[in-house]
Structure 1
């Protein structure tokens, strides 16, 4: 019998020692990072005290907004509640500052989320209604200067245009909502068109640590068909000339800005451009039409500036939960009805987020244990039967590939080995992998949650910083990603012995491909959410333990070999439908090949 290619007991001890060393390294970096964090926090406290002293004399409600405008009447009116702080500019009568009070943005200096989370600020957003007058010229409300009248958490902005009156009435509500009512009087005397253009220019500011990851999740989202249909666009121009949009959103990784018109936007067009570096991620431009009634614009709008929290999004009953990119079809269902409830349940026990992920991994492994056991048992049987397979390859070395494959399948069939049984666990892992790929970077409950040296489980850890930039890896190495890559390599070494090598020239070496895969996985994980890397580290470490337990305590390869030899003496098991179909296809292909060879005239 061929020697087993798995790990022996000495290698088992080596794996245990390696695990202890790896954990020790993790704790070392954790303590090192904690000390650095204490120093940074002390520096930040000093800076905050100085800033507070410098800002103490600034007015609270009304301030000059833009000194470049040649007027002293430009002001900013503040509205504030528990959730939002708004600044409304008299220039254009538009929201110029929007802060989410209960959240913080990522700060590159301190490497944690401690900056104000400002969705609108520093003129990164500009919107208004554009009209065409009777001379064919256009004017936009964002160029007008409005006069404010504040009443509690409501403010009325009014502007006069050649005898017409335009009013914007903002009212700050709960649940991250701002009522935005537009009223005009006398506009019919100025305009000749029966529609207005809503124009919104927006530049998305980076709020999270992982720039490339957040940039990927920053995109147009919109609903139509009376809120029942949803679509998004993250790369190209957005063109919806026929649909009436119930709402339009510019979504980032964890937060979204949504505007909802009472009668919908028609003939919508938008575009977006990547910004390669700096404070901002993407530049957006949107244009949609609003119908005028008797050439007057009297319509209610709503702005929403909200975190992408699934229960909150569902509570609006406007299909906002589609803003959370949990995956399509079965993938989204798996996240909504399995992973999110499981995460919420375990989190309710009050344990750290990293250990929540650890327990989630254990639960998934327990659920998959029956099929995983079958897979590893099949692997053991494949190792035992390898000498017979090698014998077939040697015997039919000069035969055609079809004949060799038939004889190989005959050996498996006589031994009672079903090769297709090993495919099931792999197929089950695919939707789970993609669901978690969507889960970890978009779960707001994980945002800012630290574990060991990872300060945010929704972003990469970068304790190991590089003095140069490497394509795809960038300027850091993630310890979680490296640890995950190592355990995948160990798992590959343990299972690669079961891979049959190609016997024909030109066929790829599957073992080489299997070893390359973990290395390429490092490039993917290095800039991904550290929670995902941690999950796959634990998952593959458990796979290794399962193989060792099955090999040394559950399966006896001598008994398996005896069972296979006994199976050979019995009548072969009845073929399954799939096996029968494969055999018939091979036989038919072989007959066709022989017929073609007979019809081909021999060269003289």
Structure 2
């Protein structure tokens, strides 16, 4: 008796009702969340007023310096507000004025966004004086003098003067607004030191600025360019070692922002390490060390600091390979994001619609492009259903025979029917690079940052309206509604497409149907802490897949015609293809070897 592997009318109605329930569930939580926000608005304002930020005292690195004696100077333009400390002559605070950081207390992105604050960045130039004592400029006390858009910090060490001159751009192009010119000058240092190079040491603790801690932590790493800006590399491991390369710039990349220092002479013998921080306001601790030359034992070098959002057009405008900092994927994957998904998003977003609906339309466009491949896949599925009785008959006939003979008989049925099993793999192969490209796109595309849709407040982070009173391993302390909805439709799609999958005929062989059903459940663990934009995309994508199957099954394909076509294919002599010939020869050789081994055992 032929199995009915499709959906009947009651199943179609069930699917439609389930979709309505899911959407109703989404709208309910959105409305409920809006009520909570309205009730807590006054309370939050009161708390923010009571918890106004207090000045943070600097760490007393130098025993001769007290916190009250440390002076600060400030520079600002339209994009950056910078503060400089007299202790070490360092940049002690960096605020990006047009962006906000996520506040875990209010569940909103309403905090000032500081890349550097509270001594999380500490850098200096280290050298030895003629007595062998190690000196680091971060321990010296500088005197700041502000002149317009420039600040000069001067320190003295045993009669030698060291100056750090910082200049910010207040006019010019947007890219210039994120740059800070940094000149280092010395006078009389040759009388104090005989070194021919200084060791630039930079310690940096990455601040937690986004909602998804684990996701942001995984995107925090070293990034650097070398070979005259032509080559780029990154390091998310525990250590980095580039002793043979001269680095043009070294940066600490976060999910959407980066702090970069460029050396005009380059950093040599560079090395670094990084360690994850499990909890608190910091995500990772990174330490970098690289040498810069001291000409005639004087420290005269030009640098540029960049405190930049990872916006692709902005990064490209520098022409310093900064666009590689944005992790959109290597090779073809990166090309798909840069040349297809980002332009498509920008084009649709220019219509003025919400980000969630932009993603919805992107999904439809991708489906339309892939529709010919999808049609072939589902047509193959329908043909497999028609010849299933013959496959079952062959399996029963060769039940007790050599497994190789059973496989040969099955392949012969496919060949006569004109069914190419390998064609079913093509859609899956095409989907893999698309999935990986989108996996890179959604959590790294800064235009989506802070863009809400329904109950998801930020499409680059997870939605967590369903909060759990405990933590579940690999799942966390919440349930994402987008992830749940996506998992449900993937499960429905799996049920619809796994009907033609053969059951294992031999003992010990895995049941592929069971594995296929487990996959959507495991997918929930992955999506629950991923960008909600990715879950929304795949919810829409798989819902469309289900509709395509229904349309193909009930509107486009006629099983009687397919059956007649298969019978006609059987009647015609079939030319054996190269792949089929190779498979047949492999099976025959394997069968011959098996027989030889059996005969050898009998002897």
Please indicate the TM-score interval, normalised by the length of the shorter structure: over 0.9
Give the number of equivalent residue pairs: 594
The 5-angstrom pairing of residues 91-106 of structure 1 reads: 91-106=87-102
1:48 and 1:569 mapped to 2: Cα distance?
81
SS of 1:498's partner is coil
Residue of structure 1 equivalent to 2:442 = 440
2:28 and 2:67 mapped to 1: Cα distance?
59
Deviations 1:506-550 (A, max 9, x none): 110000000000000000000000000000000000000000111
Task: Return the match for 2:498 from 496, 507, 514.
Answer: 496
Q: Do residues 343 (structure 1) and 339 (structure 2) align?
A: no
The 5-angstrom pairing of residues 76-475 of structure 1 reads: 76-173=72-169, 174-475=176-477
For the Cα contact (< 8 Å) 1:112–1:448, is it kept in 2?
Answer: no
Residue of structure 2 equivalent to 1:529 = 531
The 5-angstrom pairing of residues 58-73 of structure 1 reads: 69-70=65-66, 72-73=68-69
The 5-angstrom pairing of residues 536-555 of structure 1 reads: 536-555=538-557
Alpha-carbon offset, residue 300 of structure 1: 0.7
1:488 and 1:51 mapped to 2: Cα distance?
46
Residues 1:66 and 1:76: Cα distance change in structure 2 (over 3 Å) = farther
Deviations 1:210-247 (A, max 9, x none): 00000000000010000111111112211111110000
For the Cα contact (< 8 Å) 1:133–1:191, is it kept in 2?
Answer: yes
1:180 and 1:202 mapped to 2: Cα distance?
18
For the Cα contact (< 8 Å) 1:64–1:75, is it kept in 2?
Answer: no
2:105 and 2:40 mapped to 1: Cα distance?
8
Higher mean alpha-carbon deviation, 455-464 vs 34-43, is at: 34-43
Residue of structure 2 equivalent to 1:583 = 584
For the Cα contact (< 8 Å) 2:58–2:67, is it kept in 1?
Answer: no
Alpha-carbon offset, residue 480 of structure 1: 0.3
Q: Do residues 20 (structure 1) and 20 (structure 2) align?
A: yes
Alpha-carbon offset, residue 601 of structure 1: 4.9
1:576 and 1:44 mapped to 2: Cα distance?
71
Alpha-carbon offset, residue 452 of structure 1: 0.5
1:194 and 1:436 mapped to 2: Cα distance?
49
SS of 2:387's partner is helix
1:318 and 1:512 mapped to 2: Cα distance?
51
SS of 1:272's partner is strand
1:476 and 1:212 mapped to 2: Cα distance?
14
2:434 and 2:562 mapped to 1: Cα distance?
32
Residue of structure 1 equivalent to 2:11 = 11
SS of 1:497's partner is coil
For the Cα contact (< 8 Å) 2:120–2:205, is it kept in 1?
Answer: yes
2:84 and 2:39 mapped to 1: Cα distance?
38
Alpha-carbon offset, residue 556 of structure 1: 1.4
SS of 1:134's partner is coil
Alpha-carbon offset, residue 36 of structure 1: 1.6
Alpha-carbon offset, residue 67 of structure 1: 7.5
SS of 2:419's partner is coil
Gaps spanning 5+ residues in structure 2: where?
170-175
SS of 1:354's partner is helix
2:28 and 2:222 mapped to 1: Cα distance?
43
Residue of structure 1 equivalent to 2:40 = 40
1:22 and 1:30 mapped to 2: Cα distance?
12
Alpha-carbon offset, residue 37 of structure 1: 2.1
For the Cα contact (< 8 Å) 2:58–2:119, is it kept in 1?
Answer: no
Alpha-carbon offset, residue 48 of structure 1: 4.8
1:212 and 1:130 mapped to 2: Cα distance?
34
Alpha-carbon offset, residue 288 of structure 1: 0.7
Residues 1:282 and 1:67: Cα distance change in structure 2 (over 3 Å) = closer
Deviations 1:322-371 (A, max 9, x none): 00000011100111100010011001010000000000000000000001
SS of 1:262's partner is strand
Residue of structure 1 equivalent to 2:509 = 507
2:167 and 2:59 mapped to 1: Cα distance?
24
Q: TM-score, normalised by structure 1?
A: 0.96
SS of 1:343's partner is helix
1:212 and 1:232 mapped to 2: Cα distance?
19
Over aligned residue pairs, what C-alpha RMSD do you find? Answer: 1.6
For the Cα contact (< 8 Å) 1:473–1:523, is it kept in 2?
Answer: yes
1:288 and 1:49 mapped to 2: Cα distance?
44
2:583 and 2:119 mapped to 1: Cα distance?
65
Alpha-carbon offset, residue 72 of structure 1: 4.3
Gaps spanning 5+ residues in structure 1: where?
none
SS of 2:593's partner is helix
For the Cα contact (< 8 Å) 1:65–1:75, is it kept in 2?
Answer: no
For the Cα contact (< 8 Å) 2:58–2:118, is it kept in 1?
Answer: no
Residue of structure 1 equivalent to 2:31 = 31
Q: TM-score, normalised by structure 2?
A: 0.96
SS of 1:469's partner is strand
Alpha-carbon offset, residue 71 of structure 1: 6.5
SS of 1:264's partner is strand
SS of 2:151's partner is strand
